[in-house]
Structure 1
């Protein structure tokens, strides 16, 4: 069926901001869920737990950050406050924080320790501040709670140096007065823009789009140019987790599989935005550490497959790694992260040197000639997304030593990076044919990856 007539040049004219470009280049970073829930063995605490329960005996932020860096991550986002309301920093507007705990005699600051450790190890730092607070009495009251939330947001954005991401989910439930807070999202966004203009606002925010599940699943084609309606924070909140149960983390919906093809954008041509995707999941079944899950850490094979699909599917990959009650990442998680880092590095190191020629046609063909026939298993392609997302269909073909051509893979969306994998095949030439495009393609990189020995 012929796609509706949508102007390709208009679609290609939608471009990312500088903050979105910098974020996309990070590709892979970590989430740290840690707090009162870690101490109580919960996922969603109900609030009001005794601060005396927060007393990690060996908290080591350098160990956390080192574990993430070993996997190849470029940043870390900390759950500074989860839904229970317990703050990992000494907030001026609530007594429910580390300042009321016995940890470091009430003089500790987990946010400061993680921010400092990230800087020491060359990772960027981000914050998560739950909009839902099950301890704060003003929750559900309207402006008074917005004032409270903005005060905490301001503390986090002014005390701990540069922030690359403010990660906002849509959790929303009844407060102590039985009311549900209607969040003033635009006010929150304005505070971030004023205090940390380089930070992306993610998920319930205008810069980075949630992929739609927490299982690590990815769409066949991920587009960064989508209808503006997807920016609606309340829409995202409605599709977010609503209850403290274990089913949502592995739930994958079949709807919304195509958000940005020409057919999907028909009728929205005059109201499009650059809103790229982030794939998020946890290394364990839960987001917080639970001793019962120490034998359920995801394997390196599963994590590497998610990494290839996400980072190789025009998305960034956010992987949660929850420290244990003593304040250290468990040995099982550390071991898998180190293995994952080696697997990712090995994949990159298997890039084969080629001689490339490019046809001068309107829709180019990139021809990559190997010095001699070699077994290959992937092709990596990336656009210069500062010029928009232009490629709509590519076909990758390989020629064997006898001159026979075989189709190795094809895709529609490319964007920042597309990794096409296929069973190992020996070839001496690989072509990447651009079959459809929204405007003249601007290819930033292309590589052939040799098969693992």
Structure 2
């Protein structure tokens, strides 16, 4: 791994020292809900994929690409902001670091950054200043996966985690108020970096300490069910990856993203290839999403000069003319607060009553929402339990029941050889979230009293949530 400078130690000292919020404030559900409502009220924004892949033919750049190729000789973030304003957008979001690890701000954590390119200018600084001049909110994109610094499965060290914390500290300390940070390359099937490899709860709480009003948005929708906020403040949907929000049934604060061109980063054919139809953007995306508690973010990729191509600028103007922006966003319905703690039940030994065929107990805590445990139909009162291995403290349990199989159930825990009831439920939702005062136990069990014919558990989670 490339050497990470010693300045990290100073940055990390700052991370640990900024304790302006207590645990209670970090998890203030009413305050978070207000921020989520404000986010969806923004309605429409500009995603800006601009980084070292701009100067290559692939969206995933060579991790050893030289900073010398990053040379946008006409870079003008004011042009980006004016184009966003013409479309009636209300915010922007810039790719500060993509998967190949190149940083486009003046970072002290690595020499693989824009200050060692021919540009030698802090793009993040210029971006936030330009967008704020236009009255637009600013958000940042940041990739956990970092192939240049070998922050990838099998190579992750404490130094990597320290680097992530230090980089986020810079981004959230040096550029004023950041409305949201969009994190990518984390706990995704293609990145394979788990929330234990790079500890989610630590990073989440660091962000909230640095900027209490900054929403944390992890682009993990491909893995987790759409019925709860697993490891994110806002549920995300990447249309190019086949992730589509239900305009009829969504009940969570959400974001849907789509590029105005074919790809996220600029390609040589972009100036001569038509952008997506502005009428389709408005009628099929912007208007219906806003009525489904969802903000729409349209990616517009600057070219190698650092400017948005004329055809994209014109497309944005047409969107601004077509979109009347005269409908209020509805008030968010009731939903559970985000789940941000580590699932201590994941991959622990499990047991159950008689299972149905191959769908044995191990499938209920394998961290895979496409599989699950199923009870044999002959069992009248099925049960499933997990052995935590030692006495653990915990204060939250989630039951993902995507088949909506349970009608009533009870949750119990074992301590000192004695089983005690935690609570009972008849929650019909696909993801059932139970929060309670902290308890200590060796095992956790669900006893299912009535079903729709066959009990099943897609995933079972046990958490020690910091509050």
Q: Which residue of 1 aligns with 2:397?
A: none
With over 3 angstroms needed to count, the CA separation of the structure-2 counterparts of 1:336 and 1:256, relative to structure 1, is closer
Contact between 1:282 and 1:320, CA under 8 Å: does it hold in 2?
Answer: yes
Q: Which residue of 1 aligns with 2:270?
A: 293
Residues 258-269 of structure 1 aligned to structure 2 (within 5 Å) = none
The offset of 1:180, in angstroms, is 5.3
Q: Which residue of 2 aligns with 1:72?
A: 88
The offset of 1:313, in angstroms, is 2.4
Contact between 2:264 and 2:299, CA under 8 Å: does it hold in 1?
Answer: yes
The structure 2 residue matched to 1:249, chosen from 240, 245, 248, is 240
Q: Which whole-Å CA distance do the structure 1 matches of 2:134 and 2:210 have between them?
A: 24
The offset of 1:232, in angstroms, is 4.2
Q: Which whole-Å CA distance do the structure 2 matches of 1:15 and 1:33 have between them?
A: 30
Question: Which deviations, in whole Å up to 9, do the C-alpha atoms of 1:386-441 show, x marking residues without a partner?
Answer: x758xxxxxxxxxxxxxxxxxxxxxxxxxxxxxxxxxxxxxxxxxxxxxxxxxxxx
| Corresponding pairs, count | 298
Q: Which residue of 1 aligns with 2:68?
A: 52
Residues 110-259 of structure 1 aligned to structure 2 (within 5 Å) = 110-137=123-150, 139=152, 140-171=155-186, 182-204=197-219, 227-228=227-228, 230-232=229-231, 249=240, 251=242
Q: Which whole-Å CA distance do the structure 1 matches of 2:290 and 2:192 have between them?
A: 40
Q: Which residue of 2 aligns with 1:436?
A: none
Question: Which deviations, in whole Å up to 9, do the C-alpha atoms of 1:58-108 show, x marking residues without a partner?
Answer: 0000000110111011110100000011110121010100111111xx3x1
- 3-state secondary structure, aligned to 1:291: coil
Q: Which residue of 2 aligns with 1:95?
A: 111
The offset of 1:299, in angstroms, is 1.3
With over 3 angstroms needed to count, the CA separation of the structure-2 counterparts of 1:187 and 1:55, relative to structure 1, is same
Contact between 2:145 and 2:193, CA under 8 Å: does it hold in 1?
Answer: no
Q: Which whole-Å CA distance do the structure 2 matches of 1:316 and 1:255 have between them?
A: 13
Contact between 1:90 and 1:109, CA under 8 Å: does it hold in 2?
Answer: yes
- 3-state secondary structure, aligned to 1:201: strand
With over 3 angstroms needed to count, the CA separation of the structure-2 counterparts of 1:88 and 1:14, relative to structure 1, is closer
* Higher mean C-alpha deviation, range 326-335 or range 283-292: 283-292
The structure 2 residue matched to 1:313, chosen from 292, 305, 313, is 292
Residues 348-367 of structure 1 aligned to structure 2 (within 5 Å) = 348=326
Residues 261-410 of structure 1 aligned to structure 2 (within 5 Å) = 275-294=252-271, 295-305=273-283, 306-345=285-324, 348=326, 383-385=330-332, 388=334
TM-score between both structures, scaled by the size of structure 2: 0.58
The offset of 1:151, in angstroms, is 0.5
Q: Which residue of 1 aligns with 2:354?
A: none
Contact between 2:145 and 2:184, CA under 8 Å: does it hold in 1?
Answer: no
The offset of 1:381, in angstroms, is 6.5
Q: Which whole-Å CA distance do the structure 1 matches of 2:268 and 2:226 have between them?
A: 41
Contact between 1:35 and 1:86, CA under 8 Å: does it hold in 2?
Answer: yes
Contact between 1:281 and 1:318, CA under 8 Å: does it hold in 2?
Answer: yes
With over 3 angstroms needed to count, the CA separation of the structure-2 counterparts of 1:344 and 1:53, relative to structure 1, is same
- 3-state secondary structure, aligned to 1:167: strand
Alignment RMSD (CA, Å): 3.3
Contact between 1:16 and 1:388, CA under 8 Å: does it hold in 2?
Answer: no
The offset of 1:183, in angstroms, is 2.2
- 3-state secondary structure, aligned to 1:231: coil
Unaligned runs of 5+ in 1: 1-12, 214-224, 241-247, 261-274, 349-379, 390-453
Contact between 1:27 and 1:317, CA under 8 Å: does it hold in 2?
Answer: yes
Contact between 2:145 and 2:151, CA under 8 Å: does it hold in 1?
Answer: no
* Higher mean C-alpha deviation, range 193-202 or range 181-190: 181-190
Contact between 2:247 and 2:288, CA under 8 Å: does it hold in 1?
Answer: no
Unaligned runs of 5+ in 2: 1-28, 336-467
Q: Which whole-Å CA distance do the structure 2 matches of 1:226 and 1:250 have between them?
A: 15
Q: Which whole-Å CA distance do the structure 2 matches of 1:147 and 1:76 have between them?
A: 27
The offset of 1:136, in angstroms, is 0.9
Q: Which whole-Å CA distance do the structure 2 matches of 1:32 and 1:198 have between them?
A: 22
Contact between 1:14 and 1:388, CA under 8 Å: does it hold in 2?
Answer: no
Contact between 1:285 and 1:296, CA under 8 Å: does it hold in 2?
Answer: no
Greater relative contact order, per chain length (Cα 8 Å cut-off, separation 6+): 1
TM-score between both structures, scaled by the size of structure 1: 0.59
Q: Which residue of 2 aligns with 1:409?
A: none
